[in-house]
């Protein structure tokens, strides 16, 4: 791993599983594709644990935007640990997709739209972000398999490491 800093692209299911996940990548940066925000928005209603987790993720992001300003999101937000969370200090930044990811490779023309959009975004980041090592984080084994086929490093998410 020759690059200094990693950029972790988070799948929606990671945030649904652990709303604090974006704060658990130490000094590295985190990237949220637009489709992830769309899926979070669609899953926020209800009384389930997943719905509560999604609402918590939205509160974390909202608090960071309120305290740091939403005017320059292209520069990312500093991943500051929210008050009351006992997590190791982080120095990374949270980035959002602010432009289209480009076109899907022909291998991605069928199947799950959201998964393919996330994968397409990771592929675009590999081309544009040469200073970062791009790693897709997903609880979805099929998405990780597709990522491996397209040479996108992908890992499962475990909140205990």
- Give pLDDT < 50 ranges for the chain: 1-2
CA–CA separation, 20 and 7 (whole Å): 17
Residues 74, 81, 88, 6: what is their CA dihedral angle, to the nearest 10 degrees? -10
Specify the 3-state DSSP secondary structure of 149.
helix
- pLDDT recorded at residue 3: 53
- pLDDT recorded at residue 1: 39
Tell me whether residue 100 is exposed, middle or buried, using C-beta atoms within 10 angstroms of its C-beta: 0 to 12, 13 to 18, 19 or more.
exposed
- pLDDT recorded at residue 88: 66
Tokens 């990522």: give the residue.
Answer: 147
- pLDDT recorded at residue 83: 72
Per-residue model confidence as pLDDT tens digits over 115-155: 989 999 999 999 998 889 999 999 999 999 999 999 999 99
Q: What is the DSSP string of 32-65?
A: E-HHHHHHHHHT--SSSHHHHHHHHHHHHHHHHH
The pTM (predicted TM-score) of the whole model is: 0.89
Classify residue 111 by its DSSP letter: S
- pLDDT recorded at residue 12: 97
- pLDDT recorded at residue 38: 94
């Amino acid at each position: 791993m020759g690059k200094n800093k990693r950029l972790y692209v988070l799948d929606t299911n990671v945030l649904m599983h652990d709303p604090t996940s974006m704060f658990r990548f130490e000094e590295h940066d985190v990237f949220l594709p637009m489709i992830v925000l769309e899926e979070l928005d669609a899953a926020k209603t209800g009384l389930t644990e997943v719905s509560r987790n999604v609402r918590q993720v939205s509160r974390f992001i909202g608090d960071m935007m309120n305290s740091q300003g939403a005017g320059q999101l292209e520069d990312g937000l500093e991943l500051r640990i929210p008050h009351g969370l006992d997590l190791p200090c982080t120095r990374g930044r949270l980035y959002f997709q602010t432009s289209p990811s480009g076109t899907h490779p022909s291998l991605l023309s069928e199947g799950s739209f959201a998964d393919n959009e996330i994968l397409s975004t990771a592929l675009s980041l590999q081309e544009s972000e040469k200073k970062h090592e791009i790693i897709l984080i997903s609880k979805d084994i099929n998405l990780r398999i597709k990522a491996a086929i397209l040479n996108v490093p992908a890992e499962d998410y475990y909140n205990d490491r």
